[in-house]
């Protein structure tokens, strides 16, 4: 049998098993991407093996407990009770999966270059248990070429199998938005790319059982599509933050400007300013492309400029806090007691990766302030080697608001009593327009 015929036969067998719902999906990494994926496939009647080296997470999922704040424990209980879900710390279980999806982090290193160590380690783990007929799909955001240049060689070298003939390789980027109740794993279209038609057919069939599929020609096009989504957001967030600074100098409220501009039913999409950029995607992913572009001798001035603009925002927030303290209460930052409201990078989640609030805390302390934080989603800050400034901090009691000279709203969580905040704290600096949206008008508040 020719290689082309073997590839078609592999795809035929995979699709038949999927249509019969006699197929097991393996997921590597049970975090904010992997758990919703597992939930989605379980809901479609497919078996799921979830490999996660963290034994505490595996035990929690097996007991029907959620360790992700925006995923309701009821959902995890239903997953555990389905009889189709096997969370495990044993990587050999992946050999029983027909499709294996890699959902692991892709951070930047200390030099702002791609750190693919998690992808490489996960790929080697999969390769050690790879068997003919399996589909392997990378979901982690990365630069164009990763699947073909990093993932495929590891899989082939370790397993001795040939991609596109013995097993299929695809790329389908995660599109999770933690805390978004409108769009999730089964309601957000999935981009699917693979380098051959049989591999695309397998990947599209799998993800098509979950949600709408958008096919692209190859692996690198799918990788580029995900980066494009996040670069678009980075550039527009940087633009609106720059406009905020300019309009502030003209005594114009950027929030009112956006509210007016967004009434145009075409040609405009609202983006909003804030204290900086945070999270697992926007502040990291675009720089995967800048790194790859440099390797090909191409500049990415627009992306890097946008990064510079948003990186400067925490310092502007601290400067605005200093001005507000001086103007309203005649105090200096040095020696002031400041409460940072919201430690998470976005509202209604417990995720503080790359959170600008951390940088605001550091900069306030560097200027001599005594800083505490309040966040109902993060009762205690974890010890992070890269952020020693928050080590040992716990969420301050809301009842002690009057102890503070100033408050800086960095994250606009729902359920926070912003009226009480403005009434109790002499100076409030609002980076999210939270007071206005809550209907609170306070003479002691300043937007930043």
368-386: per-residue pLDDT in tens? Answer: 999 999 999 999 998 877 7
Give me the pLDDT at residue 386, please. Answer: 78
**Structure tokens given for 167:** 């097993």
Closest C-alpha to 321, from 373, 352, 363: 363
pLDDT in tens, 105-118: 998 877 778 899 99
Among 42-56, 71-85, 171-185, name the one with the lowest average pLDDT.
171-185
Mean pLDDT of 239-258: 96
| Gyration radius (Cα) of the chain, Å | 24
Give me the pLDDT at residue 274, please. Answer: 95
Give me the pLDDT at residue 176, please. Answer: 85
Question: Quick check: is 281 catalytic?
Answer: yes
The rounded distance, in Å, linking the Cα atoms of 421 and 427 is 10
The rounded distance, in Å, linking the Cα atoms of 95 and 100 is 9
Closest C-alpha to 328, from 236, 406, 227: 406
Closest C-alpha to 115, from 267, 285, 361: 285
Question: Of the residues 210, 227, 281, 339, which is catalytic?
Answer: 281
pTM: 0.91
Domains in the chain: ranges and CATH: 3-217 (3.40.50.720), 245-447 (3.40.50.720)
Give me the pLDDT at residue 98, please. Answer: 98
**Structure tokens given for 57:** 């997470």
pLDDT in tens, 294-320: 889 999 999 999 999 999 999 999 999
Task: Kindly indicate the confidence band of residue 56, based on its pLDDT and cuts at 50, 70 and 90.
Answer: very high
**Any idea which residue has 């103007």 for tokens?**
327
The rounded distance, in Å, linking the Cα atoms of 390 and 376 is 16
**49-70 residues labelled b (16+ CB within 10 A) or e (exposed):** bbbbbeeebbebbbebebbbbb
Measured on CA atoms in the order 224, 227, 231, 233, is the torsion positive or negative?
positive
- Pick the residue with more confidence: 1 or 38? 38
The whole-chain average pLDDT of the chain stands at 94
């Amino acid at each position: 049998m020719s290689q082309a015929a073997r590839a078609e036969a592999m795809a035929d067998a995979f699709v038949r098993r999927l249509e019969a719902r006699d197929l097991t999906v393996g997921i590597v990494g049970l975090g904010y991407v992997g758990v919703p994926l597992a939930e989605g496939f379980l809901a479609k009647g497919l078996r799921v093996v979830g490999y996660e080296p963290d034994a505490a997470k595996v035990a929690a999922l097996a007991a029907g407990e959620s360790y992700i704040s925006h995923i309701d424990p009821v959902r995890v209980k239903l997953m555990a009770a389905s009889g189709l879900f096997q969370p495990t710390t044993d990587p050999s279980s992946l050999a029983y999966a027909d499709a294996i999806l890699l959902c692991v982090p892709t951070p930047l290193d200390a030099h702002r270059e791609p750190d693919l160590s998690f992808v490489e380690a996960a790929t080697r783990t999969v390769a050690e248990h790879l068997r003919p007929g399996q589909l392997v799909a990378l979901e982690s955001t990365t630069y164009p070429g990763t699947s073909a240049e990093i993932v495929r060689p590891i899989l082939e070298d370790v397993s001795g199998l040939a991609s596109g003939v013995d097993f299929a390789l695809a790329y389908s980027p995660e599109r999770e938005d933690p805390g978004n109740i409108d769009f999730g794993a089964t309601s957000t279209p999935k981009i699917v790319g693979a380098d051959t038609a049989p591999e695309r057919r397998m990947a599209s069939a799998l993800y098509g059982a979950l949600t709408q599929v958008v096919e692209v020609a190859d692996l690198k096009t799918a990788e580029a599509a995900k980066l494009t989504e996040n670069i678009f957001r980075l550039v527009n967030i940087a633009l609106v933050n720059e406009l905020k600074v300019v309009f502030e100098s003209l005594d114009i409220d950027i929030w009112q400007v956006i509210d007016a501009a967004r009434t145009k039913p075409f040609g405009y999409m609202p983006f909003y300013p804030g204290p900086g950029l945070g999270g697992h995607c926007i502040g990291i992913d675009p720089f995967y492309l800048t790194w790859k572009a440099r390797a090909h001798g191409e500049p990415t001035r627009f992306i890097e400029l946008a990064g510079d603009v948003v990186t400067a925002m925490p310092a502007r927030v601290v400067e605005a806090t200093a001005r507000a303290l001086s103007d309203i209460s005649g105090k200096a930052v040095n020696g002031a007691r400041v409460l940072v409201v919201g430690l998470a990078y976005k509202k209604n989640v417990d995720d503080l990766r790359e959170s600008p609030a951390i940088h605001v805390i550091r900069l306030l302390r560097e200027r001599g302030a005594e800083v505490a934080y309040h966040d109902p989603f993060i009762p205690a800050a974890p010890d992070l080697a890269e952020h020693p400034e928050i080590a040992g901090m716990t969420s301050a009691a809301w009842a002690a608001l009057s102890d503070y000279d100033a408050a800086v709203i960095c994250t606009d969580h729902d359920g926070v009593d912003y009226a009480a905040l403005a009434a109790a704290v002499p100076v409030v600096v609002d980076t999210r327009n939270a007071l206005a949206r809550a209907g609170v008008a306070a003479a002691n508040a300043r937007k930043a």
